[in-house]
Structure 1
Amino acid sequence: MPNACWGCRATAATVPRPGGTDVDFDLSREQRDLSAAVRAFTTAHAGLRPDSDASSGQQAKAWAAVREQLGVHGLLIPEPLGGAGGTILDLVVVLQEFGRELFCSPYLASAGLATVTLLGLPQTEARDRVLRELGAGEVVATAGRDIFSDHRAVTGRPTAEVEDARWSLTGTSEAMIEAELAGVALVVANTVDGPGIFAVRLDASGVSRQRLVTLDPTRSLTTIRFDRVAADLLCSGGELVPLLPGIRAQAMVLLAAEQVGGASRCLEMAVEHAVARRQFGRPIGAFQAIKHLCADMLVDAETADAAVRVAAWNVDEQAEDVRETASMAALQASAAFYRTAARTIQVHGAIAYTWEHPAHLYYKRAVTSRRLLASPSALADEIAARTGLGVL
């Protein structure tokens, strides 16, 4: 499928906003078609969802399929740089479908987090070179989690120094997301001017990787060590700091989209089981306790979906309340996924406690995703501070 823009302006339900402007948050026909195409793709490749630790071989197969069959690897990258020129809402559509199946690929890290980071930085030759490679599907990228969290210069990050008129990094980047297949890493390193973001080629001499043992077997986290590794400075110091909140807001919306997809699938699995499983001569879904669990799951999934949709629209339209709505969407989606994953296990009963059933994979993903970029308490405090409520 060619990298055509899936683009989008919705045409159905509208919501009034301050100032008297009605805003449409429904998906366009093109986006609904995109959602259907991605769902058909993930259904056809359901075997690439791991039942144990996601191997680099599985991820490589999944990424090759995304690139060759679906063609959404450069969805957000502008057309002049070889991408599809899509929007954050387009990317949200894809990530929701991947989240439904816990699809085993570095899509969130490369097409999502790394791409929004690069696009949020000033245009340079080094930045555009990486974006062109991503748009062409020639490389997978990963981004350091501290790009999306605490931006102060701290110990524990790599240190960047100039050697022979070139930057080099020495130190360790902890828990890089889906970095096993990555050819480029966006790394935060300390410089004399403060934190800087560098693009590092991971096939360079002096780079070593170690996959971490984590609760979630469907998403890899990798520690990367650098020993005087050549790097390209993308942005640093006073120029970088004002850009990071906007990058972080976009990253939170993308992770939230994936969480909404997982919550929706947990709801579907619970309802399917409640209809099919019979006890005392009737489906267990006829009992009030199960009805209430499923109803609560529906409310969680739908409200999180709405919050993510609004936040994505705000990002695309560069609205003033981008940071607030992104944090709200992240908090809502995180809570929704966690609760629906836990309630799915309750509805299924004993079978959900076995490794033969995928419920445990969704629960593990829900637990770890809650702290992948920001904890629920940090998000709540941020929302309270930005809306004038103080710190909760």
Structure 2
Amino acid sequence: MIRTLTDEDRMIAEVAGELFVGHPVIPATDEPVARYDAATWRHAAEVGLSALAMPADLDGIEGFAALGEVLVAAGAALSPLPLVGSVVTAQQLIALSVAGEHRAALLGGLMAGTSIGTLVAGHRGGAVRVEARPGGPRLTGAVDAVPDGVTADLVLVTAAGPEGVTLYRIDPADAGFTATRTRSVDLTREYARVELAGCAAQPIPTHELAAALSRVEDLATVARACEQLGAARRCLEMTTAHVRDRIQFGRALGSFQAVKHQCADLAVALDDAESAVSHAIWASGESPESLPVAAAMAGAVCARVAYRAADTAVHLHGGIGFTWEHPAHLYFRRAVSDTAVYGDENHFRERFLAASGIPSPNASNDDPGPSPQRSPHQQGVTP
């Protein structure tokens, strides 16, 4: 099955596309600096981007279809806005696992755009430990590759304790909290290393948190697949425009058979990615039980296509494609960084097998399970 878009969905995507005009912005440096400011995000929230895929009883816009279209546009522009980290990950986790007045209180500022949220997945691999103290629980540990970890003012942390995984809220102003921007291959996203040193934490009442975390991971995979689809589309557009206009040996570069074949093969691969994303978005709303399989499929296909499209763009642009002044390298950096932090095609194939109930040939009996996210620096792919 594939998604169907309403007129409202298309209108929202069109407005979002206008916000992204002029992106990507080629940075002056590869130092880890702020990629956007609160004013920019508030402007985006005013047109409803922060309320996408949120409950209707909180004046949200239900359904993932409109958000998917916005994410495709964001990926094409390599937008630095916190759509995946805040709107998809943090807000979806709250909407799925927190009820009543707690949910409304946490989502209010996020949906209005006055706050930015992030999730520190400390339960993975026991990265964050919980210590019971007289004044309340304290958290200790460190997690890399936290999106918008410095910018966010609503910080959620998951940690495993004696009673299982618990969701906590921490105050970024707490003396035990440190968030440091880290160098990344991707110059259009913000990543941070979050360190907790006895940080005071407020437990948040939740229900079915484990199921919510699993669904949020799938939704985040779909969201990144949407961005990767948009980035791949833009790479193909840039490349075909260049080879059409570039004259080489008295002929348009695109008239050479080898160049034609590369562009045609990439166009076919994009069709595959489009189908995988459409199915995953449909599954997110209409068939939740099939979402894990659909998300893994979209993740595998789009991770491959985004890298291939960016690599092709760099090479077919010739000498200019290797320069700092041309945006091709930003798309390549995004593709490499996504693979390093969130997983490559093989990672998502493993998830596909697991979600399908098929034993993986690479799995072992003592498999410790998912490992914590690693920063691009840890993966050995720093600039």
* Residue 15 of structure 2 corresponds to residue 41 of structure 1: no
* 1:269 CA displacement: 0.6
Q: Pick the aligned partner of 2:260 from 274, 284, 291.
A: 291
Q: Which structure carries more relative contact order (alpha carbon 8 Å, separation 6+)?
A: 2
1:136-168, Cα deviation, whole Å (9 max, x unpaired): 22210112356xxxx66x34x222233346333
Using the alignment, how far apart are the partners of 1:136 and 1:99 within structure 2?
23
* 1:124 CA displacement: 5.3
Using the alignment, how far apart are the partners of 1:130 and 1:360 within structure 2?
38
- Secondary structure, in 3 states, of the residue corresponding to 1:171? strand
Structure 1's 112 and 387: CA in aligned 2 closer, same or farther, altered over 3 A? Answer: closer
Using the alignment, how far apart are the partners of 1:116 and 1:249 within structure 2?
11
Structure 1's 345 and 47: CA in aligned 2 closer, same or farther, altered over 3 A? Answer: closer
Contact 2:2 2:275 (C-alpha < 8 Å) held by counterparts: no
What are structure 1's unaligned runs of at least 5 residues?
A: 1-22
- Secondary structure, in 3 states, of the residue corresponding to 2:137? strand
Contact 1:50 1:104 (C-alpha < 8 Å) held by counterparts: no
Contact 1:185 1:201 (C-alpha < 8 Å) held by counterparts: yes
TM-score by length of 1: 0.84
- Secondary structure, in 3 states, of the residue corresponding to 1:320? helix
Match of 2:104 in 1: 128
* Residue 360 of structure 2 corresponds to residue 391 of structure 1: yes
* Residue 89 of structure 2 corresponds to residue 119 of structure 1: no
Aligned residue runs from structure 1 range 93-108, under 5 A: 93-108=69-84
Using the alignment, how far apart are the partners of 2:52 and 2:10 within structure 1?
15
Structure 1's 71 and 28: CA in aligned 2 closer, same or farther, altered over 3 A? Answer: closer
1:96-148, Cα deviation, whole Å (9 max, x unpaired): 111101112222211122112222214254443211121122210112356xx
- Secondary structure, in 3 states, of the residue corresponding to 1:142? strand
- Secondary structure, in 3 states, of the residue corresponding to 2:90? helix
- Give the AA of the match of 1:92: G
Report sequence identity in percent. Answer: 30
Using the alignment, how far apart are the partners of 1:102 and 1:169 within structure 2?
34
* Residue 224 of structure 2 corresponds to residue 231 of structure 1: no
Match of 1:75 in 2: 52
Count of residues in Structure 1 that have an aligned counterpart in Structure 2: 360
Contact 1:145 1:175 (C-alpha < 8 Å) held by counterparts: no
Match of 2:138 in 1: 168
Structure 1's 115 and 230: CA in aligned 2 closer, same or farther, altered over 3 A? Answer: same
Contact 2:219 2:284 (C-alpha < 8 Å) held by counterparts: yes
Using the alignment, how far apart are the partners of 2:39 and 2:269 within structure 1?
33
TM-score by length of 2: 0.86
- Secondary structure, in 3 states, of the residue corresponding to 2:143? strand
Q: Pick the aligned partner of 2:153 from 172, 183, 195.
A: 183
* Residue 297 of structure 2 corresponds to residue 328 of structure 1: yes
Using the alignment, how far apart are the partners of 1:28 and 1:228 within structure 2?
48
- Give the AA of the match of 2:287: Q
Contact 1:328 1:383 (C-alpha < 8 Å) held by counterparts: yes
Structure 1's 80 and 201: CA in aligned 2 closer, same or farther, altered over 3 A? Answer: farther
- Secondary structure, in 3 states, of the residue corresponding to 1:55? coil
1:44-99, Cα deviation, whole Å (9 max, x unpaired): x537563544632634453233134x331122222333x42231121111111111
* 1:296 CA displacement: 1.5
Match of 2:183 in 1: 213
Using the alignment, how far apart are the partners of 2:131 and 2:100 within structure 1?
20
Using the alignment, how far apart are the partners of 1:340 and 1:358 within structure 2?
13
Contact 2:244 2:254 (C-alpha < 8 Å) held by counterparts: yes
* 1:239 CA displacement: 4.2
* 1:389 CA displacement: 4.6
Contact 2:68 2:223 (C-alpha < 8 Å) held by counterparts: yes
Q: What is the aligned-residue RMSD (CA, Å)?
A: 2.3
- Secondary structure, in 3 states, of the residue corresponding to 1:321? helix
